[in-house]
Amino acid sequence: MLKRLFLAAICAASVTQAGLVRLDVTDRSDVLDSHAFGKTGSYERISGRAYFAVDPKLAVNQVIADLDKAPRNKDGMVEFSADFYVLQPKDPKKGNGDVFYEVSNRGGKTLLTNFDRASASLNPRKLEEFGDGFLLNEGYTLLWVGWQFDVPTAPEYIRLYPPMTQAVKGIVRAEVLVDKKETSSPLAPYRVINPDDPELKLTVRDGVEGRRSTIPRGEWHVDTANNLVLDAGFEPGRIYELVYSGENPPVAGAGFAAIRDMISWLKYGGNVAGAPADEERLQRAYSYGASQSGRFLRSFLYYGFNRDEKNRKVFEGVFAERAGAGVGSFNQRFAQPNRATSGINSSLYPADVFPFTDYKETDPETGLKDGLLTHMLPQQFWPRVFYTNGSTEYYDRAASLVHTSLDAKKDVAIPPTTRIYLFSGAQHGPAAFPPVRRGTQNLANPNPYTWSHRALLMAMDNWVKTGKEPPPSQYPRLKDGQLVPPSELNFPKIPDIAFPMFLHRAYPSNYGPEFRSKGIATQEPPELGKPYPILLPQVDRDGNDLAGIRMPEIQAPLATYTGWNLRAKEIGAPDQLFALVGSFIPFARTKAERMKSGDPRLSIEERYSGKEDYLAKFEQAAKSLANQGYLLASDVPSLVQRGGAEWDLVHQ
């Protein structure tokens, strides 16, 4: 597998060879003192820096924005590097032949957290940081390669060291939104060329579509540290916007090539010294990305990076989690990968831009025809794809656009190689348990839906290896009446609970004539067309989603689990969504209690005769999901234990 490769620092081959050209290993050590993970046995960690060179003349590379503006070596190649981190079986023969790559979210590592129930760590060294060892027991090689240039500078973060453009200038839009009054905010990642320019204009507005008001030039300035300073202070919940000139941005899209070329080398080998022998190469590659990283994977497919420079498939499977209908500012001039665009946060950055569906669709307003998979990727390079979203992504990430027409009048076909799964009543990643309020009106939503990820990964692996179909898609459809306009949502009138008046919307957005073809924005803020209609999962009488993978918490509920929450009054804009957070709204414990408050939802005592009755129904729901392939049967006892803790919480 990778053993011969990573024995020591590896010298460079000639950089006339495009792709991966060198690996410098800075750490190679045993995991947990050679602790045995199931039948796989012991693991080792290997980390360092990978060096790449790409040919800007190749068609598959010309899609990288501004690659032609980067310096070239004597052989005409553009060079760059990225951090890498590997956890691999010490005995390659005991591994399963699969590399499982995670698109690092802002330089972090969450595979072990999401799949192995581990505590979070950037450099796992303790037993609890490997959780129950699920991925390692199964024999996966786990890989992280940097793709993002603007991550924290701490050494354990995974980052890209991109090529830099030369003699390039352009416009940059910066947005400031604070939760408490502040006088200063950084204008990262790009410096203002002329901070004293009297023509610079700072505006403020309330809400994404609010009217912009100009703040007098004498009341603010950009300091020497590139901070925007407002003398009177930024007001919480208001959107401040500054458009300015920047210069010499990085070639951010090189991150796509780094991932493509590392995975391709692991599978197919190359001319790098120390390359693995044929029998040591990994056979299959899967990728996982959540939130920002899920949007990155959708972009990876759109730009055609699942085909390498030698016309070979890169990933066999792509697991895009919590991406909604989004892509991101990943391959543009003056890219801002950290911008998320949700609610009133980071509004109008190019995260929700046409197209949204895998197959080609037509935008009725602009006349554009395009598709996520059909844009640049021939069908033989399509991977198996899982799009997984929670309820939050329908309220706050325009997820209905993934599977409906742009006029919201019909369900659209999805490829046979794609599955779409809604996790009913789930927020954008489960909240900590027990849940708390942090800047929200309601408790955050702790629905532990990520337990399903393990079963889905195994299903994807079987799909690739044997052709066995994974569990069917589970998402709300118009034809079933389970996907509706916001005005038709039957959410119950719960005392003291405000339903959101404003949802995140996507728009036909004009950033200028060269944006779609070259990634160059010349219009900031963008000109907006009529927003695309947004549809929401219909709910039952408790306010819980009807469609999707309904975890036991939804089938045997103790509360309403929503994909939305509102900003608390103290952080401003209380009528707006709190970005990417759902609500946990417990039922009344007794009938008398709910009658007194006027809560229309049945109380807990009206639903269950006691804890034992509740747990029996909870366990039955979990076993049913396992029988359908949405949970592992071995995980049911742990889920039931969690269900008991939830009962205890609402009865405190």
What is the model's pLDDT at position 344? 78
Count of structural domains within the chain: 2
- pLDDT above 90 for 341: no
> What does pLDDT average to over the chain?
94
CA neighbours within 13 Å on the CB side: how many for 162? Answer: 30
Above 60 in pLDDT, residue 16? no
Degrees to nearest 5, angle at CA 541 with 539 and 544: 40
Query: What's CA 371's distance to the chain center, in Å?
Result: 20
584 contacts: CB under 8 Å, gap ≥ 6: 431, 435, 442, 443, 444, 445, 446, 447, 559, 560, 561
Same domain, 135 and 212: no
**Judgement on whether residues 50 and 106 belong to the same structural domain of the protein:** yes
Residue at 31 is within a domain: yes
Domain stops at, among 247, 271, 298 = 247
pLDDT, tens digit, 9 for 90 and up, residues 302-331: 999 999 999 999 999 999 999 999 999 999
Split at pLDDT 50, 70, 90, the class of 17 is: low
* Residues 361-417: tens digit of each pLDDT: 999 989 999 999 999 999 999 999 999 999 999 999 999 999 999 999 999 999 999
* Per-residue pLDDT, 279: 61
> Is the pLDDT higher at 274 or at 501?
501
Do 153 and 269 sit in the same domain of this protein? yes
pLDDT of residue 343: 75
Mean pLDDT throughout 424-429? Answer: 97
pLDDT tens track for 530-559 = 999 999 999 999 999 999 999 999 999 999
pLDDT score recorded for residue 347: 87
Q: Is residue 185 part of a domain?
A: yes
**614 part of a folded domain:** no
User: Residue 281 has what pLDDT?
Assistant: 81
Give me the domain span that covers residue 271.
1-163+250-282
Q: What share of the chain is helix, strand, coil (3-state, %, to 5)?
A: 25, 25, 50
Q: Note whether 107 and 220 are same-domain residues.
A: no
Answer whether residue 647 shows pLDDT above 60: yes
Looking at the predicted structure, is the pLDDT value of residue 5 above 80? no
Domain end, chosen from 221, 247, 273, is at: 247
Contact 177, 135 (CB under 8 A): no
Q: Is residue 273 pLDDT above 70, yes or no?
A: no
| Residue 564 tokens, joined | 């939305």
Within-domain flag for 340? no
Same domain, 150 and 215: no
Same domain, 110 and 68: yes
N residues, the chain: 652
